[in-house]
Amino acid sequence: MSAPPLSPNVTDDSLYANGIPHERFAEIRDADGLLWHDYHDGGFWVVGRHADVKTVSKDGKVFSSAVGHTNLWDLEADALEARRSLIDTDAPDHTRLRRLVARAFTPKNIRRWEDTVRDITVNLLEAYVEQGEGDFVEAVAAPLPIQVILTMLGVPVEDSGYLVELSNFLVEGTSETQSIPADAFGNTTELRLLPFNSPASHALFEYGERIGELRRKDPQDDLVTSLVQAEAEGGDRLSGSEYRNLFHLLVFAGNETTRTSLSHGAMALADNPDQWQRVLDDPSMIDSATEEVLRWSTPVLHMRRTTTEPVEVGGTHLEAGQKVVMWYASANRDETVFDDPFRFDVGREDNPHFSFGGGGPHLCLGAYLARLEIQVLLEEMAKRNLQLTRLGEPVRAPSNFVHGVLSVDMAVEAKP
């Protein structure tokens, strides 16, 4: 077989210093078939078109999440095992684990958290308005999702500062540099066996065990209780290691992602005052504005799968055991699906974005929670007639995986 055509480089973190390198993805979408990307521990197929991402995402059997890793690089077998959570499993394990947490997150059931989300949002927003200006990430985008998920899990408020701190160290673990030593928090586990190679994961596991123990003795109406009860039923429901990893995933997964979406959303509204005016004039636009914020922000740039058998995607033949990477960042700007994809349009009618994944079994568990958070924030901003103005460029986290914003200074004022 002749060598497949090579993709432009889209993995160097430096390419993301000023945002997503969209021209490169346009080239990838334009190519015949799929392009091949070199990578230090083995190359991968680059999937950039919306339709092809959907094909890969929908078929969890041919495109496995359990083999290798769901990030670009492979993990050694023992590390993969130790770190495995919902996100790196295939059916039937995936089906069993997902059902244990799915109930609280269905679109219908997530609605019962609306008041909680609103209280948290209003508190943060009012403090920010009081302040008048400052870093939007620190004031609103970061605390909002973590406070919500900790409330849902049942973590007592007095511990939430500690967990926020841990989760910030984890966010840091997605980049090359870590500011804490390997033995921080009394960690003795080899870092490669911990999620994000971070000693903060050890601390989060320990905390999860501790609160799990409390809820076993004294059940409450919260997510930790429902997890430990599933664990207690034994059999094949939930093992101890699965519980720890699931607790960890729930604390982390919704955290940086939602923060990213809220931050990009706020920037887009500040940069496009005409679009924000449309929302103010017609609050029924908040639903479509929420979806547009999600498409626009694409917090997770890609996820990887590994083929379990030979298969054809986008006209290209793939062998078994090959890495396949779905670039949501590219699919969300696919000009064959989205009219004028580089326009931020709060009234966009047909918006099948892949910010929560391409519609397959790993579809983001927290999708309706994240939507609720964005929607409530927009509602509360609109209610107060708030106008955001940028005071400078954002500080970005240059990463090929998350579309991170570390900070962005803005002014906020209530318009007369």
Partner 1 sequence: MADETSDGVELVGVQVNEDTCIGAGQCEMLEEDTFYVDDDTVIAGVIGTGMLPRDRAQKVVDTCPSRAITIVEPAAEEEQ
Interaction of residue 414 with partner 1, rule CB under 8 A: no
Closest CA to 371 of 170, 48, 148: 148
Residues 6+ apart with CB under 8 A from 284: none
- Report whether 395 contacts 408 (CB < 8 A): yes
Told to check if 314 binds ligand HEM by CB under 6 A, we report no
Residue 285 binds which of partner 1, ligand HEM, none (CB < 5-8 A, kind-dependent): none
Core vs surface per residue 382-415: b (16+ CB within 10 A) or e: bebebbbeeeeebebbeebbbbbbebbbbebeee
For residue 322, the minimal CB distance to ligand HEM (Å) is 17
Binding partner of residue 91 among ligand HEM, partner 1, none, CB cut-off 5 to 8 Å per kind: partner 1
Stretch that binds partner 1, among 103-111, 129-137, 158-166, 408-416 (CB under 8 A): 103-111
Smallest distance from ligand HEM to CB 373, Å: 7
Within 10 angstroms of residue 230's Cβ, the number of other Cβ atoms is: 19
Q: How big is the site for partner 1, counted in residues (CB under 8 A)?
A: 21
Rule CB under 6 A: choose which of 47, 166, 238, 364 binds ligand HEM. Answer: 364
Quote the Cα angle for 257-258-261, to 5°: 90
Residue 257 binding ligand HEM, by CB under 6 A: yes
Binding status of residue 357 toward ligand HEM by CB under 6 A:
yes
Kindly tell me which residue out of 370, 388, 405, 410 binds ligand HEM, with binding defined by CB under 6 A. 370
Tell me which residue has its CB nearest to ligand HEM: 366
Give strand pairing partners of 36. 6, 45
Q: How far is CA 127 from CA 178, 193, 328, in A?
A: 31, 40, 34
Measure Cα distances from 99 to 91, 187, 227 in Å: 11, 31, 11
Among the listed residues 37, 316, 362, 401, the single contact to ligand HEM using CB under 6 A: 362
Smallest separation (angstroms) from partner 1 to the CB of 367: 9
140 or 365: whose CB is closer to partner 1?
365
* Site membership for ligand HEM, residue 87 (CB under 6 A): yes
Query: Where does this chain touch ligand HEM (CB under 6 A) — which range of 191-199, 235-243, 255-263, 386-394?
Result: 255-263
Answer yes or no: are the C-beta atoms of 4 and 305 closer than 8 Å. Answer: no
Lay out the site mask for partner 1 across 344-363 (x = CB under 8 A, - = otherwise).
---------------xxxxx
Reduced DSSP (H G I as helix, E B as strand, rest coil) percent helix, strand, coil of the chain, to 5: 50, 10, 35
Binding to partner 1 (CB under 8 A) within 64-93 occurs at 91-92
**b (16+ CB within 10 A) / e for 9-25:** ebbeeebbeeebbeebb
Rule CB under 6 A: is residue 253 a binding residue for ligand HEM? yes
Nearest partner of 148 among 299, 370, 365, 355, judged by Cα: 370
Residues that bind ligand HEM in the complex, under the rule CB under 6 A: 65, 70, 86-87, 98, 145, 149, 249-250, 253-254, 257-258, 261, 299-300, 303, 355-357, 362, 364-366, 369-370
